[in-house]
Amino acid sequence: MLEMFDPVLSPGTSAATVVSVGRDSRHRFSKPPTDTITLVEGYGVEGDAHAGATVQHRYLRRKDPTLPNLTQVHLMASELFEELEGRGFTVTAGQLGENITTRGIDLINLPLHSRLHLGSSATVLVTGLRSPCHLINKFQDGLMKACLGRDEDGLLVRKAGIMGIVLAGGDITAGDGVRVELPVGPRLPLPVV
């Protein structure tokens, strides 16, 4: 049994929503926005280079191509773009490689194994945090540091979104609602995947 809750909404937001969706059939840094993406159970985003039951990230694939793919879907909060803008960066949906851009959910502080219900039928199980790599600085110099921070205890905070696997498929479009289910039991922090 999973606990249901309404996510903490960002100021000026009346509901948690999908802002943008994107995919790319090639391994490039950004994912161009599109009208609709289709999530496929146990596989990821149909037509995306990172989709598959086993790991598709090029670095991880070289290490062990048989590992399960815990990064089938990349989600990012649009609120990060506003924070980055205040620091002199211009970033829009899809440019940091995310498949789904949301608004109104504090994604990076969700506990491990939270479930995100997107649109009318899709469900993504949250597997961990995305750690920004050096390629982000090739996109915009200094952006990697801007996507990292420290919490009140001095611990590193990775702000570049979260990763998940598809538990239930379906089509996702901008404007779709997002509902969060928290796991029952101890709330485990998200590891880096």
- Going by their DSSP bridges, the two strands 17-22 and 100-103 should be labelled as antiparallel
Tell me the mean pLDDT in the region 9-29.
Answer: 82
In the chain, the percentage of residues whose pLDDT exceeds 70 is 93
pLDDT of 122 over the 90 cut: yes
Q: Can you give the pLDDT at residue 14?
A: 59
Q: Can you give the pLDDT at residue 173?
A: 98
Task: Determine the residue type at 129.
Answer: L
Q: Can you give the pLDDT at residue 135?
A: 86
In the chain, the percentage of residues whose pLDDT exceeds 90 is 87
Q: Indicate the average pLDDT of the chain.
A: 92
Regarding pTM above 0.85, the answer is yes
Tell me the mean pLDDT in the region 143-160.
Answer: 94
Question: pLDDT-derived band of residue 134, with 50, 70 and 90 as boundaries?
Answer: confident
Whole-number Cα distances in Å, 173 to 41, 110, 121, 144, 164: 17, 22, 12, 28, 18
- Sign of the Cα torsion 162, 166, 167, 168 reads positive
User: Tokens at residue 56, please?
Assistant: 């598709």
pLDDT of 83 over the 60 cut: yes
What residues does each domain of the chain span? 3-24+35-172
Neighbour tally for 3: CB within 10 Å:
12
The residue ranking higher by pLDDT, 8 or 174, is 174
Q: Can you give the pLDDT at residue 60?
A: 84
Task: Write the CB contacts of 155 (distance below 8 Å, at least 6 apart in sequence).
Answer: none
Segment 4-17, tens digit of pLDDT: 444 444 445 558 99
CATH fold of the domain at 3-24+35-172? M1 Pyruvate Kinase; Domain 3 (2.40.33)
pLDDT of 81 over the 80 cut: yes
